[in-house]
Amino acid sequence: MAERSEPPVRAFEGIKSIEDRNTFVGLTYDKLDITASIDRVRSPKAGAVVAFVGMTRDNFEGKPVSTLEYTTYTPLALRTLSTIVTSLKSTNSGSLHSISVTHRLGIVPIGEDSIVITLSTSHRAEGWRIAEECLELVKDKVEVWKREWFVDGGVWRANRDGGKGVPVEEAEDFKEAGGVPVEYLEQEDR
């Protein structure tokens, strides 16, 4: 089994408000605080607060997973997260009152939370729709990569469902390791 590296020096932690006080993004190595995320998006105009919490499960395609490890190029990931939530706020301006997306980095053990998306909307149906759209955009566009650790080694993959991945030991010679450009793998998180 490949050895796990220690998490790099923490470059950015916490939640950052962007453009207005009702739009938030964050990257952190700390455990995620769901209650704080819900409180952050509460609005007297809202009839619903929707929360999605993604967590590390104990298997992937029938293989036992021991842990996940997330890495990123922080400035780029924050910029992409900001673009996503700003765009969602703009295209749903009549109904989306506040939105917050926080992604955890580093090692995330089985059963712990890796992403929290919360938002407040005028009505619940639009809240569910916008939360789903947000999650799909984050998985598709944000520069966060994960290393899944199995009993027999690790696999790098983009932070998407169903991606094949590249064995960790092959990643150094591979131009893109599960969506992770080699230059990002060689750098510490910033």
**Domain chopping of the chain, boundaries:** 15-185
CATH number of 15-185: 3.90.1170.40
pLDDT tens-digit series, residues 99-112? 999 999 999 999 99
The answer to which of 3-12, 121-130, 158-167 has the lowest mean pLDDT is 3-12
Q: In this structure, are residues 106 and 56 in contact, taking their beta carbons and an 8 Å threshold?
A: no
Q: What pTM, to 2 d.p., does this model score?
A: 0.78
Residue-level pLDDT at 143: 92
Helix 74-91 vs helix 124-141: angle between axes, to the nearest 10 degrees? 150
Greater pLDDT, 91 or 67: 91
Q: Tens digit of pLDDT for each residue in 78-96?
A: 999 999 999 999 999 999 9
Mean pLDDT of 22-45: 94
116-152 burial by CB neighbour count: b if 16+ within 10 A, else e?
Answer: bbbbbbbeeebbeebbeebeebbbeebbbbbbbbbee
